């Protein structure tokens, strides 16, 4: 792929990134940061793609560490985000019922 | 440019389709993550996208050494899964810092290995359109790795949260950046030297440490978010070096969204990003607090029974929770206290500062964990006008976000930061462990106000005592 095509993709994707995030409630800042954190773990692809062509023990060792780091970033990032969001999920339902019940009893 | 849909699906085309599916899922996932009702689903969609991307990389014909790949992935899973599963909600911010750091580390290592591959096996520097992104990724990746580790250390309190200031900091940082960039330019203009490349990594590593060390703990969320954006950028640069669209798009959307998120967070704290990076809270603090407070300051301390009476006979009570509440794991006891008060007809609300806890939204997560009703959580702008009508405000483990010096004392390092106006309520009861200053290391005049009394002790034990006393009232 030529450089200018890649830069085109880069710039367009940057605008998507700006656009998507422009309206986010405060509450979701932490989970969102954590989720985007997991997404940049996509660098693990870099390690997977180059390890085969790398020569020598040292280069391979560096790349095994890189793949391990990338995997930690991806797996850990998505799991931690899920744990945070799990708590948001269960919250409104029972409370709404309580509020409605209180409303009804008035 | 390959048009996968139009042409017959050869291997590489199919792989590119997988990448397109992957980054589309990232974008859809992030969109869902901006709404509470769809956020969890959004995270899962993004994770599925990552699965497609990894599949694409594994299917690429030039990919080899599957044994070593499996080894790396296995190490990552063995370390990452338990870490993510077991981390306490209170320690979440430093966990995110750590995950961000390893991402940056991976970028730096991949760019190093790739450079070795070119000069060792292919006999020379890569073309500039590959070399420049590699050098960029090396610098930013290394800064991000070390910076994130320092941020982790500060939040975990392995390294003191207070700013660590070294004389001539800015000059040293400038020189380090200059060294890294100069070495990069030397390589780009023709020198083939792994030594220079390692110099870049080392200079950037020291720079990462030096930039984050002087930043005070209270600014750390902004720093983590900034480093998150940087790691995204470096991943995108690696994507250009490796001609990989999934990496380019995945990296840059994190870089872009991370930049916006950093700006939103900095705005919530009324801090500018350059001033945070240039040097944190601290330098001015000592001067300010030693200058204007000649006389010994006196404060009133109180006991659980007294607090119980004040709460039981109030009509409106606001709880202003902070990180200290979370550390003491007092949120469940606080909810029980609120339930007991509500039974007596007292209205109980929670005042949530945008950066309460250690990250925006962190406190909401912690209170959600304790099943605090969603509608009782009031954001700062919503609750601040109500404080004059509030009878009692319970400040539990919060400090800097209630510091009225932010409104009045121009010399204070947090001057201008939006705060919870708890001092405007009838009575303020501050639950504190001791008279130590907060995470930012700044004294809080709130404690010496006439309408403030202090209840010393562990937050959880104190709240439990008050609860017992209320039941007896």
Q: Residue B365 and residue A30: Cβ atoms within 8 Å?
A: yes
Say what the pLDDT of residue B19 is.
94
B338 touches chain A (CB under 8 A): no
Token pair 């200059």 in the structure block, residue: B178
Higher per-residue pLDDT: A81 or B433 = A81
Token pair 């509020």 in the structure block, residue: A99
- Separation CA B9–CA B67 (nearest Å): 28
Inform me whether the pLDDT recorded for A27 exceeds 90: no
Which of B150-154, B299-303, B427-431 comes out lowest in average pLDDT?
B299-303
When pLDDT is cut at 50, 70 and 90, the band that residue B375 belongs to is confident
Higher per-residue pLDDT: A46 or B364 = A46
Q: What is the distance in angstroms between the Cα of B227 and the nearest Cα belonging to chain A?
A: 10
Residues of chain A neighbouring B4 (CB-CB closer than 8 A): none
- Separation CA B381–CA B425 (nearest Å): 15
Find the CB nearest A13 among B71, B234, B249.
Answer: B249
Give the model confidence (pLDDT) of B338-357 as tens digits.
988 988 889 999 998 877 77
Do B403 and B330 meet the contact criterion of CB atoms below 8 Å apart?
no
Token pair 């490349």 in the structure block, residue: B197
Inform me whether the pLDDT recorded for A46 exceeds 60: yes
Q: What is the distance in angstroms between the Cα of A19 and the nearest Cα belonging to chain B?
A: 8
Q: Residue A84 and residue B365: Cβ atoms within 8 Å?
A: yes
B415 touches chain A (CB under 8 A): no
When pLDDT is cut at 50, 70 and 90, the band that residue B292 belongs to is very low
According to DSSP, the residues that pair with B378 across neighbouring strands are B351
Mutate to test the interface with A, among B110, B146, B221, B249 (most CBs of A within 10 A): B110
Say what the pLDDT of residue B9 is.
46
Closest to B68 in 3D by CA, of A54, A93, A86: A54
Residue B75 C-alpha from the chain's centroid: 25
Say what the pLDDT of residue B451 is.
87
Do A84 and A103 meet the contact criterion of CB atoms below 8 Å apart?
no
Do B6 and B233 meet the contact criterion of CB atoms below 8 Å apart?
no
When pLDDT is cut at 50, 70 and 90, the band that residue B445 belongs to is confident
Give the model confidence (pLDDT) of B220-259 as tens digits.
888 999 999 999 999 999 999 999 999 999 999 999 999 9
- Separation CA B33–CA B261 (nearest Å): 13
Say what the pLDDT of residue B436 is.
66
Count of beta carbons in the 10 Å neighbourhood of residue B354: 22
Say what the pLDDT of residue B11 is.
74
According to DSSP, the residues that pair with B316 across neighbouring strands are B347
Closest residue on chain A to B66 (Cα): A52
Q: Residue A39 and residue B50: Cβ atoms within 8 Å?
A: yes
Give the model confidence (pLDDT) of B148-197 as tens digits.
999 999 888 888 777 777 777 888 889 999 999 999 999 999 888 899 99
Inform me whether the pLDDT recorded for A7 exceeds 90: yes
Residue B157 main-chain phi, psi, to 5 deg: 65, 30
Q: Is B409 a catalytic residue?
A: no
Say what the pLDDT of residue B418 is.
82
Say what the pLDDT of residue B274 is.
79
When pLDDT is cut at 50, 70 and 90, the band that residue B99 belongs to is very high
Say what the pLDDT of residue A96 is.
43
- For residue B289, what are its two tokens? 């607090």
- For residue B160, what are its two tokens? 């003191």
Mutate to test the interface with B, among A5, A49, A53, A103 (most CBs of B within 10 A): A49
When pLDDT is cut at 50, 70 and 90, the band that residue B440 belongs to is low
Residues of chain A neighbouring B244 (CB-CB closer than 8 A): 45-46, 49
Say what the pLDDT of residue B3 is.
53
Say what the pLDDT of residue A93 is.
44
Inform me whether the pLDDT recorded for B7 exceeds 50: no
Say what the pLDDT of residue B265 is.
79
Residues of chain B neighbouring A23 (CB-CB closer than 8 A): 34
According to DSSP, the residues that pair with B377 across neighbouring strands are B350
Residues of chain A neighbouring B361 (CB-CB closer than 8 A): 26-31
Residue B237 C-alpha from the chain's centroid: 23
When pLDDT is cut at 50, 70 and 90, the band that residue B98 belongs to is very high
Q: What is the distance in angstroms between the Cα of B213 and the nearest Cα belonging to chain A?
A: 22
Q: How many H helices and E strands in chain A?
A: 6, 0
- Cα→Cα distances A46→A75, B134, B249, Å: 16, 12, 13
Say what the pLDDT of residue B288 is.
36
DSSP H helices, B156-293, are 169-188, 194-212, 220-241, 245-268, 273-278, 283-292
Inform me whether the pLDDT recorded for B78 exceeds 50: yes
Higher per-residue pLDDT: B451 or A87 = B451
Q: In what order do the strands lie in the sheet with B392-396?
A: B300-301, B452-456, B427-432, B392-396, B316-321, B347-352, B377-379
Say what the pLDDT of residue B413 is.
72
B59 touches chain A (CB under 8 A): no
Count of beta carbons in the 10 Å neighbourhood of residue B457: 17
Q: Look up the pTM and report it.
A: 0.79
Find the CB nearest A50 among B40, B113, B265.
Answer: B113
Q: Residue A20 and residue B92: Cβ atoms within 8 Å?
A: no
Name the active-site residue from B219, B400, B443, B465. Answer: B400
């Amino acid at each position: 792929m030529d450089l200018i095509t890649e830069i085109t993709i880069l710039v367009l994707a940057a605008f998507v990134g700006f656009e998507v995030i422009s309206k986010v409630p405060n509450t979701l800042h932490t989970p969102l940061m954590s989720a985007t954190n997991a997404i940049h773990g996509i660098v693990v692809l870099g390690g997977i793609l180059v390890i085969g062509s790398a020569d020598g023990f040292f280069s391979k060792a560096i790349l095994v560490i890189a793949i391990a780091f990338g995997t930690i970033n991806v797996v850990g990032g998505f799991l931690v985000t899920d744990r945070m969001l799990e708590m948001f999920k269960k919250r409104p339902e029972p409370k709404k019922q309580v509020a409605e019940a209180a409303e009804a009893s008035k | 440019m390959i048009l996968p849909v139009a042409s017959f699906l050869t291997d590489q085309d199919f792989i590119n389709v997988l990448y397109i599916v992957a980054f589309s899922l990232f974008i859809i996932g992030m969109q869902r993550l901006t709404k509470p009702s769809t956020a969890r689903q959004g995270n899962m969609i993004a994770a599925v996208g990552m699965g497609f991307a990894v599949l694409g990389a594994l299917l690429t014909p030039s990919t080899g050494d599957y044994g070593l790949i499996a080894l790396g992935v296995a190490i990552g899973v063995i370390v990452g899964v338990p870490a993510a599963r077991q981390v306490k909600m209170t320690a979440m911010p430093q966990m995110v810092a750590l995950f961000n750091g390893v991402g940056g580390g991976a970028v730096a290592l991949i760019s190093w290995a790739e450079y070795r591959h070119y000069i060792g096996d292919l006999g020379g520097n890569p073309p500039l359109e590959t070399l420049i992104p590699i050098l960029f990724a090396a610098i930013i990746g290394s800064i991000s790795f070390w910076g994130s580790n320092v941020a982790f250390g500060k939040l975990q309190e392995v390294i003191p949260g207070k700013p660590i200031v070294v004389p001539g900091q800015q000059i040293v940082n400038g020189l380090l950046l200059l060294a890294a960039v100069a070495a990069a330019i030397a390589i780009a203009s023709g020198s083939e030297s792994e030594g220079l490349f390692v110099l870049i990594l080392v200079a950037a590593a020291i720079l990462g440490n030096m930039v984050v060390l002087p930043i005070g703990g209270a600014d750390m969320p902004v720093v983590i978010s900034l480093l998150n954006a940087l790691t995204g950028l470096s991943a995108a640069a690696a994507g250009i070096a490796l001609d990989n669209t999934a990496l380019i798009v995945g990296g840059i959307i994190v870089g872009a969204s991370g930049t916006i998120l950093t700006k939103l967070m900095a705005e919530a704290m009324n801090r500018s990003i350059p001033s945070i990076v240039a040097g944190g809270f601290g330098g001015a603090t000592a001067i300010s607090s030693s200058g204007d407070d000649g006389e010994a300051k006196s404060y009133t301390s109180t006991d659980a029974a007294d607090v119980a009476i004040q709460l039981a006979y109030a009509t409106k009570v606001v709880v202003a929770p902070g990180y200290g509440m979370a550390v003491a794991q007092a949120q469940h006891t606080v909810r029980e206290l609120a339930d007991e008060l509500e039974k007596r007809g007292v209205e109980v609300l929670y005042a949530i500062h945008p950066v309460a806890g250690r990250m925006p939204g962190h406190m909401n997560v912690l209170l959600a964990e304790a099943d605090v009703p969603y509608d009782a959580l009031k954001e700062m702008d919503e609750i601040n006008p109500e404080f004059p009508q509030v009878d009692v405000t319970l400040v539990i483990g919060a400090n800097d976000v209630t510091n009225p010096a932010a409104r009045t004392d121009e010399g204070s390092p947090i001057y201008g930061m939006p705060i919870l106006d708890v001092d405007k309520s009838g009575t303020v009861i501050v639950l504190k462990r001791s008279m130590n200053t907060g995470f930012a290391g700044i004294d809080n005049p709130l404690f010496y106000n006439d309408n403030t009394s202090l209840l010393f002790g562990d937050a959880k034990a104190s709240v439990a005592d008050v609860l017992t006393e209320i039941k007896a009232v």
